[in-house]
C-alpha cells in the first residue's frame, strides 16, 4: 500500500525508518463498535475535580483583576487556557464574604457553597497524589528533561515526585518544609498536554501580573484566592494558597508554587539545570 519516498535525501532514511517503526505500535484491542453501548457520563466527585485541578492546571488558572471579572474572555500561558465567565450573583456574594484574598485558609473557614452546589469541596494535599515515583524513574518515563532548581542552594532533590498522564506527561516535584514535613516548601509542575481548557468562575488573587523568566513572558499570581469551577453536572470551589509563577520553556509549561516573593520565584525558575 505504501508508495515510494516522498522526497529524496534525508527524508528517505526517515521514511524508511518510519515505515519499519510506526506499524509496531501496540494498540488497545479494537472494541466491537456495533455492539458497544455509549458510555454513560457520570458526574465526578467534587474532591476529584479539586485534586485534579490542583495538580495540573488550577494553580495555573489565573484569576483576572476585578475590573475584568465581568468579561467573557480567556487567559493563556503555555498549554493552559483559562476561560472566564461572569460570576453569577450568588457566587459573587458568597465569595466576597469568605475569601477574597485567601483569608479563609488562614483561619480555617470553609468558603460557603453556592446555591447550586450541595457541599463545599475539600482539596486533598498534593502529597496525596497518585503516580508517586522516584526522580530517576520519572526521568525515564517522560520525553523531556526534568531539570531541578539550583537555587536555593540548600534545596537539593525533590522529596516527592509524581508522574501523571494528562493527554501528555505531567510531572509534579515537591520539596517539603524541613521544619514541618507535612507542609510543602515549594512545588514545580511540568505540563506538556495539548491545549487544556476550562470554563469557570473565579475570584481574583491579591494580584496578577506579568513577569519575565529567562526573558520570556510569565504570569505571576500572588496571594490565595478562591476559584469556583462550574459546568454541566459539577460544581466546586478551591482555595489556592501561596503564589504561582507560570512560564514556558522549550514547549514545556512550568508552574512553580511557593510562598516566596516574585523575585525569588523568578530566581528559582531561572536556576533550573
Write out the residues near other proteins by the rule CB under 8 A: 1-3, 6-7, 10-11, 13-28, 30-34, 36, 38-39, 44, 48-49, 51-53, 55-56, 83, 130-131, 141-144, 163-170, 193-199, 231-232, 234, 251
CB of 272 to other proteins, least distance (A): 16
Round to whole Å and give the CA distance between 90 and 111: 13
Q: Cα 267 to the chain's mean position, in Å?
A: 21
| Cβ-based nearer residue to other proteins, 17 or 103 | 17
DSSP-assigned letter for residue 53: H
Give residue 251's region: left, alpha or beta (phi > 0; psi -120 to 50): left
CB of 88 to other proteins, least distance (A): 18
| Cβ-based nearer residue to other proteins, 151 or 234 | 234
CB of 2 to other proteins, least distance (A): 6
| Cβ-based nearer residue to other proteins, 201 or 265 | 201
Closest CA to 121 of 222, 230, 197: 230
Round to whole Å and give the CA distance between 121 and 104: 13
Round to whole Å and give the CA distance between 117 and 183: 29
Q: Cα 250 to the chain's mean position, in Å?
A: 17
| Cβ-based nearer residue to other proteins, 30 or 210 | 30
Round to whole Å and give the CA distance between 63 and 219: 11
| Cβ-based nearer residue to other proteins, 33 or 153 | 33
CB of 91 to other proteins, least distance (A): 19
Round to whole Å and give the CA distance between 6 and 243: 50
Please tell me the total number of residues recorded for the chain in this structure. Answer: 273
| Cβ-based nearer residue to other proteins, 2 or 153 | 2
CB of 19 to other proteins, least distance (A): 6
CB of 262 to other proteins, least distance (A): 28
Type and span of the H or E element at 47: helix 46-56
Amino acid at each position: 500500500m505504501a508508495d515510494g519516498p516522498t522526497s529524496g535525501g534525508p527524508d528517505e532514511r526517515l521514511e524508511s525508518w518510519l515505515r519499519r517503526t510506526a506499524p509496531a505500535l501496540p494498540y488497545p484491542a479494537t472494541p466491537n463498535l456495533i455492539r458497544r453501548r455509549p458510555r454513560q457520563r457520570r458526574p465526578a466527585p467534587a474532591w476529584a475535580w479539586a485534586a485534579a485541578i490542583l495538580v495540573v492546571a488550577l494553580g495555573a488558572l489565573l484569576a483576572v483583576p476585578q475590573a475584568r471579572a465581568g468579561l467573557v474572555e480567556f487567559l493563556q500561558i503555555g498549554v493552559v487556557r483559562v476561560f472566564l465567565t461572569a460570576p453569577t450573583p450568588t457566587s459573587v456574594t458568597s465569595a466576597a464574604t469568605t475569601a477574597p484574598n485567601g483569608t479563609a485558609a488562614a483561619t480555617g473557614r470553609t468558603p460557603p457553597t453556592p446555591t447550586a452546589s450541595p457541599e463545599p469541596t475539600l482539596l486533598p494535599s498534593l502529597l496525596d497524589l497518585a503516580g508517586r515515583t522516584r526522580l530517576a524513574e520519572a526521568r525515564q518515563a517522560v520525553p523531556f528533561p526534568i531539570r531541578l532548581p539550583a537555587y536555593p542552594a540548600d534545596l537539593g532533590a525533590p522529596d516527592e515526585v509524581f508522574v501523571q498522564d494528562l493527554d501528555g506527561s505531567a510531572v509534579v516535584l515537591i520539596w517539603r518544609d524541613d521544619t514541618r514535613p507535612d507542609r510543602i516548601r515549594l512545588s514545580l509542575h511540568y505540563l506538556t498536554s495539548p491545549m487544556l481548557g476550562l470554563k469557570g468562575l473565579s475570584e481574583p488573587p491579591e494580584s496578577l501580573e506579568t513577569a519575565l523568566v529567562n526573558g520570556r513572558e510569565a504570569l505571576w499570581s500572588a496571594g490565595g484566592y478562591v476559584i469556583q469551577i462550574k459546568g454541566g453536572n459539577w460544581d466546586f470551589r478551591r482555595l489556592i494558597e501561596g503564589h504561582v509563577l507560570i512560564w514556558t520553556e522549550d514547549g514545556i509549561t512550568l508552574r512553580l508554587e511557593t510562598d516566596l516573593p516574585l523575585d525569588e520565584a523568578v530566581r528559582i525558575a531561572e536556576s533550573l539545570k
